[in-house]
Every structure is written in C-alpha cells, then in structure tokens.
Structure 1
Amino acid sequence: MRVLFSIFLGFMRVLGIQLIKSGARPHEVPYYGLCDYSPQTIASWLRDYRREGFEGLKPKRRSDRGRPRALSPELQEQLLALRQEERSCPASVFYEQLVAKGVILPDAVSYATIYRFLKSRGLLGREMRREPERKRFAYDTVNTLWQGDVAAGPYLRVGNKKVATFLFAFIDDCSRLVTFAQFFTSEKFESLKVVFKEAILRRGIPQMVYVDNGKIYRSEQLQLACAALGIALINTKPYDPQSKGKIERFFLTVRQRFLPLVKDEHLKSLDNLNRSFWQWLEEDYHRQVHSALGMSPLDKFMSQFSQVKMVSDPAVLEPLFFKREERRVHHDATISINKRLFEVPPQFIGNRVEVRFDPEKLERVLIFVAGKEVAVAQPVALSVNARAKRESKLSFASLQGGGQN
C-alpha cells in the first residue's frame, strides 16, 4: 500500500511540475495574441477535459446571466430615479455625474456596467453614434484569416417566375483568393455549410474566420464545427459592413465584372449560373494581377501553399456540422427525430443521449454519450418489423397454468 501511495505522489508531483512549466510561459491564442494562464487554470481545464471531454471545455452560462451583479436592487432603483431626471444626458456623462455625487465608486462599478444596465431598460438616451477608427490591415500569411459573407445575386427566370439568388463566399485575407463561392436560392444555414465545407476541403483550414452577425453565422452548428477544427470564429458588429472590406470589395468586383457577362441562358437554372460564375472566377478573377499584391490571388496563395493545413480525412468533416440535440430513449429502444423513428442499441433504454444529425437529410444519426460516439441509429422500418418472425409465441394456456407438461 505504501508503494502505491508513493507512486501516486510521484505522479502528482511530476504533473504539478509540468503544469507550472506550462503556465510559466505565455501561450499564443488565435486572434487574441499572447495570453498568460496560471497552473491552476490549466489544471482545471485538464480536469474538465478528462471528466467530460470536449464538452467540458465549452463555456458555462452564468446562473444570474442578464442581471448586473455589481448593482444591488436598491442601487438599481436609485439609478432609475436619477436617470428619469437626466433622460437626455449621454450615458458617459451620466456615469461621471454618478461618480461625482458619490452614488457609485468607479472601482466598484464600471462604466460598462452602467451602460449595459441603461441599455437593458431602454434608457440610453439620444447619443451621437461615433464611427470607429479604421485602419487598413492585411495578414502576411495565407489562411490566417478568411472573411465570409452573402450578397444578393441575379434573378433566375424559371417559366414566368423570377427566383432570387444569393452568393455565399469566403475570401482569404492575405492573397484575396476566393476559397469558395456559390449561388443559392436560399439564405439558410445549409447554403453556408456547403460553401464553408467546400472551401476547407479545397483550400485548407484557416486560423480565423471573420463573418457577419447574422443568425446563420451565430448558429451553434457553425460555432461547434469551428471549435472542433481549431478555428477562431469572429462575428462583426451589427450594421458594420465596412469591417469586412475585402469580401465586400469582391462582391463589388462580381457586380462590375461578372454580372455584365451573364446572358439569358445562364439564368435559366442555378446550375448554369454557377458554372458560368466558377469559370469566370478561375479564369478571370484569380488570374488577374492584384494592385496591392503585385501578383494574382492564385499565385500569391500558391506561393505559400506549403504552409496550408489541409483536412487529412474529408469524411470526418461532414459530422462536425451536424445539429446536436438530446433525446430520451423509449422503452422500445427508439428515438424520434423530426417525426421519424430511429432504433438505438437496447442498453440505452431509459437514458438520455446526444444525437447528431443533418436536419436537411437525416441520412446519418450518430449517438453520443459523454462526448464520445457510441452508436449509429438506424431508421425504423415499420413494415419490416410487422413481418419479422418472433422467437417465441404467446400461449394463453401457459398463462392460465393449463399447458401440457
């Protein structure tokens, strides 16, 4: 027993030394730069990962989310009363008045806390919107940052109807190469998923992705897929298209150089439109010398291709974009997804499991427990089950005790 205890203490001592060494040096965090973490923080992350896997590292929501912890109920009532007296005063000036009057202490209550409190109550007042200072930037390495967005495309002429199209695209910040783009007739997440997945398969995995603040770009499916691939997903501020200057400039190029070339036969179907667009993209846009680069986007990207991190197994990519939900397994070892029944192994009867699936297709339904894939659910074929032979038949006589011995 003493020997085992000594071995355990030695293991913990080595682990502690490794954590101290790891915490003693700064770590490069995508988009945020160098960050310092204490050994206790790293140890807690390791403990959470060992206990729950990747799911244990996901941020936990505060139990008091949405309520300012620095403001007591009494102080909130006082702030509301004072704000009614200074309704048109800018929030910054109102905060300074609170500090000057001794209502709050700047070390205890920050301006951001007061601003969020006033905003939640609709009491910000009429404030002049300040335009953010903008500085032009460009990364020196390909696949460091991609910008993504969607733009309105031309109308298709299907019979007597006009059908709107939307161009989803991602562009590499360094080379201006369009990693992938495609026209769709829908603005839903499925369109975004197709383009983003194809861009990764063709051009590799970026370190960061800078996208709009729209619903599909804030979806849990996109966030989890990026996290699994080690991609930092960054959303722009609402109503700030200027922050994505390179993708917006590409859309302008499409309107100026591609759309004038579109003919009636290209607008008869979505396939015709995309084929003509992809031909223009590869033969024109990617091969034109860019004034800021001194070379074409394709040449710039290929000059650093040795640094590109490609996907090792394309089959692994699709499940990363699956929707994730919880289900309780019924007594007949089935679960229901979008009004369809699927069979799961009987050992999960009565338990809650995580299901991952593509809601548009439902071709594969994966079963996860504690963050690990444990089974693939199979669709229930009721007609087959009705014809299946049972191993034993129910005997009424045996139930009554009148069966023959």
Structure 2
Amino acid sequence: MSHANAALTPRARLRLAELVVDRGWTFAAAAKMFMVAPRTAKKWADRYRSEGAAGMVDRSSRPHSSPTKTTPDVVRRIVRLRWRHRLGPVQIAGRLGMQASTVHAVLVRCRINRLCHIDRVTGEPLRRYEHPHPGSLIHVDVTKFGNIPDGGGWRYLGKQQGDRNRAATDTQRRRGPVRGPLIGTAYVHTVIDDHSRMAYAEICADEKAATAIEVLHRAAAWFTDHGVTVERVLSDNGSAYRSHAWRDACAELGITHKRTRPYRPQTNGKIERFHRTLADGWAYARFYESTEQRNTALPGWLHFYNHHRAHSAIGGKPPVTRLTNLAGHHN
C-alpha cells in the first residue's frame, strides 16, 4: 500500500506508463503532467514494458541483504538483560558495547520496549485476552475496606482525630488486649464481566462460601436482567471458591468454574484493576462521616461506572455500550 506522501498510486503509475509506452509521450511530458521527475516516469514505463499492469503494484522496500543486522546471539543477550534485570536501552548498550538506538530497535522488534508490557514475575511479554461476548466469562473476587468510625476516619481527619472518633464509636470489643474498639471490615464482593466490564458489587460482613454463593446467585440474576447469560466464572484460590458448596452452586446455575494458578493474580487482572478503580472512585474518593454514608454511595457510583464512565480498555466508552448479548443473540 502506498505511503501517505506518495506522488503516484498504482493506478496513476499505470496511466503514466500507458501515456509513454502506448501513446508515445516523452518522459518529460508525462512526468510534468503527473508532477514527478522524468527519471520516475522512465522507471514506471520500463517496468510496464517488462511486466505489464502487474508491475505497477507496490513492492517491499526491504533490502535483499542486511550485512550490519544485529546477530541472533546479540539479540538473545539483549533480551536476557531486559528480562532478568529490567535494564533500559542505555544500560544494556553500556554492558554490551553497542549503540543504545540499536538496542532500542531490538526491543521494539521483540515487543518488550516498554516495561509495562513485561510480566513482573516471569519477565515474559504480557498475554492479554478478552472473551468474545458478554457472559462468556465473569470474574469474581473480594476486596476489603476498613469501616469508618462515626465522625470520619484518619485518612481525611488525621490520625489523632481519627483515633478519637474510633474510640467514641459504639462498637463491640473483642476479647483480649485490643487497642481501642474494633471498627470492623467491609467485605466487598465484586463481579465483573470480561467482555463488557459491567460490574456488580455487594458489601457483606464476611467472605465465607455461603456469602459468596449468595452473591453469585444475585449477580447472575442481575446479569440476566441486563440480557447477559453467564457461562463461566473465574476466581482465585480462596477458601470460599475451593469449597464443595461453591462447586455445587456453579453446577446448579449451569456455570463452568475456573480458578487462577496459585500466586498468579495477573490472570484475574481485570477485577484486580477494578478494585483499584473502586477504591479511587468510591471508597476513598471523598470524606465520609460514617460507614453507612459510604455504603449508601456505592449503588450510585456503580451506576456511574457502568453507564457513564469512559473505560480506556473498550475504546473510551462506558461498559453498558458493550451489552449486545440479548436473549438468544449468541446462542
């Protein structure tokens, strides 16, 4: 395909060559008409004589041989330093005694020129995936937030005032030596659709299997109301998701359950990233005077996330725009 600044397209080349070969125009006259050099007109006319119209198409500008090309052994050494030590082009070039621009070109060809494209654990290029339609896979997990004492917590008021509010809050102490009353923890059970990024969340008192199962039932019904049939669910290896009760609940709903590899949260990365968005956009977004006030704000934020917030992974559109799995649409 011709580049953006090309003077001649394949069709224009053919017209130029026909004027010279078939109609007897001079190279200078044809070149002037098409605003190119006479030498260019001669090149296309000669190619037309020898190859016909097929010779007018674009050809690769890649050279037949590259004597100065970086050898495979040097490429392996560059990649090894990048993977094992996460060095930049300048540091790698200093170790190998070569130009940093050459190292950068090798890293670009190997698609590891950006450290954010490399897995932190293995050093291998990241493998991103997305299921083809809504409901093909949902991710489930639990994230925790500390409850807020009456009057506000330390994040906005400072540690001293936060501790005073915590001490004044009417809570039930645990047995044993505990500093101050136990405010408790909010367990937010989250569910997110892999394709559309539609999210469902509930605030619960624990993360036990029975609670997770109830959340799964309500989430599946919620997705059904939005025209999405859940087919698979992906979870980590938490005790709730390894239980027989969870397995039986998935079978009852007709959902295939899959678990991530141990110590590999990247596999469930979409929901892990959603937890960060949840914290920034809801849990720590503004000052809350109590846990109840924060809990009350969650449904409104979820509606904003699903229906109005631009999502960078789906082209800057809100997740609801990807809900195309209406009843029977993908069956």
Return the TM-score normalized by structure 2: 0.49
Q: Which has the larger radius of gyration?
A: 2
Task: Report 1 or 2 for greater relative contact order, CA contacts < 8 Å, sequence distance ≥ 6.
Answer: 2
Which structure: greater strand fraction? 1
| TM-score, structure 1 normalization | 0.40
